[in-house]
A and B are shown apart, each in its own frame.
Chain A
Amino acid sequence: MAFASIFVPNFSLQAVVRAESALCERALALIEGNPPLCSVIAINEKAAQMGIGIAMTKTDAEQFAGAEIRPRSLAQEKTAHAALLDIGWSVSPRIEDTAQDAIVLDLSGLTSLFGAEKEIGAHLIERSAACGLRVNVAIASNIDTALIAARGFVGITVIPPGEEAQPLSRLPVGALSPSIETAETLSRWGVVTCGDFAKLPILELSERLGQEGVRLHALARGASARSIAIAEPAHFFEEEMELDDAVEELDPLSFLLGRLLDQLCARLAARSLGAAAIRVRFELEPSFENGVDIREAFPAEKRPGVYAKEIQLPVSARDSKMLLKLLRLRLQLNPPGAPIQKIMLAAEAARPRATQGGLFLPSFPDPEKLELTIARIAQVVGEENIGSPSLTDTYRPGDFQMRRFLTPREAAKADGGSGVCQKTTKHADAQAMTSFRVFRPAVPAKLDLHAGCPTRVAFQGLRGEVIAASGPWRTSGDWWREDPWQQDEWDLEIHFQAAPEQRDRFSSADLRSNSGIYRFYYDSLRRGWFVRGVYD
């Protein structure tokens, strides 16, 4: 049985660098605390070379030209820790969430999948780099040895079973994480390394340091044995970023969203999952009028200052570029309306789609490309004006609703079908069915009646004589609702007398055809005549 430990050195710093990859090339110092008592809590190598030290005040650190000073971000650390867990779950189903900056994996049965232990270690480092983290990996036969080795050695460390004591002996005794009193005691004794500590007699050690001494002695020898505490796999994928300066423009916002999406998609890819929906949430900059925050005027639950949007995807996807394009189009359609101070992105995880095209089936639009196309068209015509029409269960004339458009394969899968469409052929000698063109909204009209039958009509500047009439056909319904209808419909063949300059939408454009068949109706409730449409 082997265990691997992944340790993220300088975790707080790496969490910030993960969000701003350009910082890894520069001297960086993290500060924490309430002003004016901010002090440096973490630095990278370049900052150390410049002379910045831990516990230095913010003012002193800012004296160093070229150094980047950033506040510690708990939000970034949370997402970095979630990314670390995803890396672990991408390799092994049994992992222990040991600390904010370290996890342990059970490698039982993984050699056949990933190869030898060194290859597993290389695989973990590669996946961590893809998620924006530089880690140390140590593999040993017991958990604590792996943890200590990962904290103590850089890169990949593989400790064969039975040889734990030798590599651990080189590490300082502080790697065992003793209590402050024990550390002072060991320092007075002159015990510097784990090797020195392991040579001490255990009986006398237990008399001087108690159970802690015995425990630390076992750790130093690499002889501790404990079970792994399995962590439940998380099913939420969230990334967030707090901004020092609020962002107003779409282009810089897109840049930040793209970075967050890259991290999110990398985590999804590590777990072999896709995103079925993306939720974006912005905390907006407060707006002041006369020195007063206008949000104070609203109750807490309705207070403005938060922009939330959800994008449902027809198929699960993890292409960050495509998701960014979709987000941009939605934001252009519905902008936040205020500068953004904090960005939060969450993905609803789902299994990625697995489809196999048929040789004899017609091709369908690619779902991801189709979603982008529909989003672009929605920008032009409006979201409510694109989709599939669906008839409603009513006799109300012209009633329908617009539904989200899905390719037949996706629609069938959503209904629980196999995704294969039933192909039918139209009858060889099929006739053309008379179709109808609707006027939206219905056009008001004036009619002359003779013995209850229309004889002359006038609408939209056109006048005509009725050549043939069919009706009235009464239709009514929904009398129990607030919007009932009652209409008397007529199909009228009309011969127009329109002047040439009036020949537009409602008149024939050709001299050879000056007539048409229209559907008129008398609305008994509104007491007026209207033209519903024309047969064409």
Chain B
Amino acid sequence: MSSKTSALRLQVESSLAARVASPFQYRDQPIVEMALTGVAPIDLLTGGLPRGSLTEIYGPPCSGRASLLVSALASRTAASEVCALVDAHDAFDPNSAEAAGVRLQQLLWVRCRNVDQALRATDLLIQGGGFGMIALDLGDTPARLVRYVPLQVWFRFRRAVEHTPTIFLVIEQESNAKTCASLVLSLHSQETRWAQTSERAESGGEILLPHSPGCLLDGWKIHAETIRSSAKQKERRLFTLDEIFADARGDSIDFETAVMWGGIRKR
């Protein structure tokens, strides 16, 4: 190495000494273990939920956030893991969760009244440790209130779950954790499916869809987009032909939800 390069290297190392030790030393990026969400298109898009990291799922109401949360809980409890749900506005529905496959006896449900209670409970749970997944549901909290949560809170949560096997999942209306999140997923609902709907009737420019006997909600289509993903996949696996030719366009994918009275639909 030339003397100029050595001097330059020495100068950079000395200026960064207070903040970064050995800036020129190669550090192998740790491979993050991923856990399946239980929704095949999401697992195809993201590789699953990263352990020891903060994952954000955000979107407006009726965008499939709760459905994805419940699927993840069902997947983790089916793997015999103990999960915790911090419910900021006491909106969790045990009936639909059990129908989706969540083992309720393996779920610790903390019913909060406001964001402050939710954040304190989350901090205590993360410090306690031992959970396979901790979910913080701020889906019903107005976005303007969640914006007031300082960034250091998210940073603190991220550091607390680092090097643990715990998945930390946050459900919100908009993304707030910024770079503290290893995986950020945005959801938006698209068309809704109704079974046995009658023909559309147009009247005075308004589209009115009258109901018919036997009309049932059949689910809806959700568009999921990866906004940020810094986790590596731990394992590679073979994808089925269906998955390879799935409606996946780069960092986004569309998938459909099913309702409990509709049974499991195969595509």
Q: Contact residues of A with B, CB < 8 Å?
A: 361-366, 369-370, 372-374, 376-377, 380-381, 385-391, 397-398, 400, 402-403, 405-408, 411, 421-440, 451, 453, 455, 465, 467-471, 491, 493, 504-510, 512-513, 515-517, 533-536
Contacts and interface: CB of A to CB of B under 8 A. Distances in A.
B175 to A, nearest CB: 12
Contacts of A422: 80
B194 A431 contact: no
B147 to A, nearest CB: 11
Interface in B236-250: 240, 242
Contact of A426 (B74, B106, B165, B189): B74
B45 interface: no
Contacts of B132: 362
Interface in B210-267: 210-211, 215-217, 219-220, 222, 240, 242, 255-260, 264-267
A387 B130 contact: no
A510 B93 contact: no
Contacts of A535: 62, 217
Contacts of B194: 468, 470, 493
B259 to A, nearest CB: 5
Contacts of A425: 78-79
B107 interface: yes
Contacts of A370: 128, 130
A385 B109 CA distance: 8
A431 B43 CA distance: 11
A381 B111 contact: yes
Given A426-B101, A534-B62, A432 B258 contact: yes
Contacts of A408: 80, 82, 105-106
Nearest to A441: B90
Interface stretch (B2-10, B34-42, B176-184): B34-42
Contact of A434 (B124, B219, B242): B219
B71 interface: yes
Interface string B53-67: 000000111111111
Interface stretch (B12-20, B23-31, B137-145, B150-158): B137-145
B70 A439 contact: no
B105 A391 contact: no
B149 interface: no
Contacts of B22: none
Contacts of B259: 433-434
26 contacts: A366-B130, A370-B128, A370-B130, A373-B128, A377-B124, A386-B108, A388-B107, A390-B94, A390-B104, A406-B105, A421-B80, A432-B42, A432-B64, A432-B257, A433-B99, A434-B220, A434-B259, A440-B91, A455-B208, A469-B211, A493-B192, A493-B194, A509-B173, A510-B173, A513-B60, A513-B189
Q: Which 3 residue pairs are nearest across A and B when measured between Cβ atoms?
A: A365-B130, A373-B128, A433-B100
Contacts of B104: 388-391
A367 to B, nearest CB: 10
B97 interface: yes
Given A390-B104, A436-B66, A380 B82 contact: no
Given A426-B74, A426-B75, A470-B211, A433 B128 contact: no
Contacts of B129: 365, 369
Given A377-B110, A380-B120, A465-B206, A435 B38 contact: no
B81 to A, nearest CB: 5
Nearest to A376: B124
Contacts of A509: 60-61, 142-143, 173-174
A79 B267 CA distance: 72
Contact of A431 (B128, B217, B257): B257
A293 to B, nearest CB: 40
A515 B62 contact: yes
Contacts of A385: 90, 110-112
A432 B79 contact: no
B160 interface: no
A497 to B, nearest CB: 12
Contacts of A506: 61
A430 B142 contact: no
B140 A437 contact: yes
Nearest to A510: B60
A373 B129 CA distance: 9
B96 A435 contact: yes
Given A362-B80, A438-B91, A508-B62, A428 B40 contact: yes
A381 B113 contact: yes
| Residue with the highest number of chain A CB atoms closer than 10 Å, among B65, B207, B259 | B259
Interface in B168-204: 173-174, 188-189, 192, 194, 197
Nearest to A373: B128
B211 A435 contact: no
B109 A436 contact: no
A505 B172 CA distance: 11
Contact of B108 (A376, A387, A390, A536): A387
Contacts of A421: 80
Given A436-B66, A438-B91, A388 B142 contact: no
Given A374-B108, A509-B174, 20 more contacts: A364-B130, A365-B131, A369-B128, A385-B90, A389-B109, A403-B105, A423-B80, A425-B79, A429-B240, A431-B40, A432-B67, A432-B255, A432-B256, A433-B259, A434-B258, A435-B96, A468-B197, A513-B62, A516-B62, A536-B65
A536 B139 CA distance: 10
Contacts of B188: 510, 512-513
Contacts of A377: 110, 120-121, 124-125
A426 B217 contact: no
B27 to A, nearest CB: 27
A465 B210 CA distance: 12
Contacts of B32: none
A424 B106 CA distance: 14
A273 B264 CA distance: 51
